[in-house]
Chain A
Amino acid sequence: MSRQTLSVLTILACGLVTYALRLGGLLLADRLPKRGRVRAFMDALPGTLLLSLIAPSVVENGIWGGVATLFTALCAIKTKSPLLSMLVGMAIIAVQRYVTQSL
C-alpha cells in the first residue's frame, strides 16, 4: 500500500471513530452509565492520556523540561490561558537552548 493511501485510510479511520462516538453518544444517551466504574474510567481518560503524551517528552528535555512544564502549568492555573502558558513554556526551553549553544 502506498504511503498516500495509508495516510488517507488512517485519517478516515480516525474520522469514522470520532463521528461514531459523537452520534453514538446522542443515540445511546439513555444507556450510557451515569455513575460507576465504567463512567469513572471514561471521565479519567482525557487527563491521563494527555499526561501520558507529555511525560516522556518532559523527561527527554531533562531538568529544563521539568522547569518549563512547571511554569507552563502554573501559568495555566493562574491565567486560564493555554496559549500564553504554551508560549511561557516554549520561551523557557528556547532561552535555555540558546544559552547552552552560546556557551
Chain B
Amino acid sequence: MLLNRYSLGTMLAATALAQTPVMPKLTKGPAKPGFDVSRFVLTPVGTFQTFYVKETFPLKKALEEGRVAPDTRLLVIDTASGKLALIRDQMTYHHIAQGRARNKDWMATF
C-alpha cells in the first residue's frame, strides 16, 4: 500500500491520539472548605476500572471448586442481601466495586 501525505498524517494523528491520556473532566468548583484543588493530581481515565458486580456465588462453593483457597485474602462488606466477599488482590486494582442487592445499590472502595 502506498502512503501519501494525507494517510501518513492520519496515521500520525491516530497514533498521537492513542498515546494521549484522557483525563477526567472537572468543573470549576465549588470546593469544600479546606480542599485545595491545586494539590489534586489526575489519573488518566481507564487506568483503574471499577468492578461492576453482576453476579455472585456462594463462597463455600468457590472454595470447593478451588477458585479461592482457605487463606485467600478477602474484603467483606454488608449489602442488603447479606455479607459479600471481594478478593482483596483484585480490589487493589479496581479500587471501587459497585453492585445491587435486593434493589439497593452499594459501593465499596479500597
A is bound by B: no
Residues of B bordering A, CB below 8 Å:
none
Residues of A bordering B, CB below 8 Å:
none
